[in-house]
Structure 1
Amino acid sequence: MADRGRDPEAVERDIERTRAELARNIDELADRLNPKHVAQRGTERLKEEAGIVAQAMGSLVRPAEGEDGEPGRLDQRVVLAGVGAAVALTALVLWRRGRRRRR
Structure 2
Amino acid sequence: MPQDPAAIQQQIENTRAELAVTLDAIAELVSPRRVAERTGEQIRGRVAELRQKVITSGFGGLPAITADSSVAGNGYGTPADRRELAAGLDTGPVVQRVVRWDRVAAVGSGVLVLFVSVRRRRRRRARVL
Q: TM-score, normalised by structure 1?
A: 0.59
Residue 91 of structure 1, CA deviation: 3.9
Across the aligned residues of Structure 1 and Structure 2, the Cα RMSD in angstroms comes to 3.0
In the alignment, structure 2 segments of 5+ residues that lack a partner are: 63-98, 114-129
Corresponding residue for residue 94 of structure 1? 107
1:31 and 1:37 in contact (8 A); partners too: yes
**Percent same amino acid among aligned pairs?**
25
CA displacement 1:45-79 (0-9 Å, x = unmatched): 101111111000011135649xxxxxxxxxxxxxx
CA–CA distance in structure 2, aligned partners of residues 42 and 93 of structure 1: 13
- After superposition, the Cα gap between the structure-2 partners of 1:91 and 1:13, relative to the gap in structure 1 and judged at 3 Å, is farther
Q: Could you tell me which of 26, 32, 35 is aligned with 1:35?
A: 32
> Greater strand share, 1 or 2?
2
CA displacement 1:14-50 (0-9 Å, x = unmatched): 0111011101110111011110110000000101111
Matched letter for residue 107 of structure 2:
L
* Alignment size in residue pairs: 77
CA–CA distance in structure 1, aligned partners of residues 48 and 109 of structure 2: 20
CA–CA distance in structure 2, aligned partners of residues 64 and 91 of structure 1: 27
Corresponding residue for residue 82 of structure 2? none
Corresponding residue for residue 17 of structure 2? 20
Residue 88 of structure 1, CA deviation: 6.1
1:32 and 1:38 in contact (8 A); partners too: yes
CA–CA distance in structure 2, aligned partners of residues 46 and 53 of structure 1: 10
Matched letter for residue 9 of structure 2:
E
Q: TM-score, normalised by structure 2?
A: 0.49
CA–CA distance in structure 1, aligned partners of residues 57 and 105 of structure 2: 22
Counterparts in 2 of 1:1-103, with a 5 A limit? Answer: 3-4=1-2, 6-62=3-59, 64=61, 86=99, 90-94=103-107
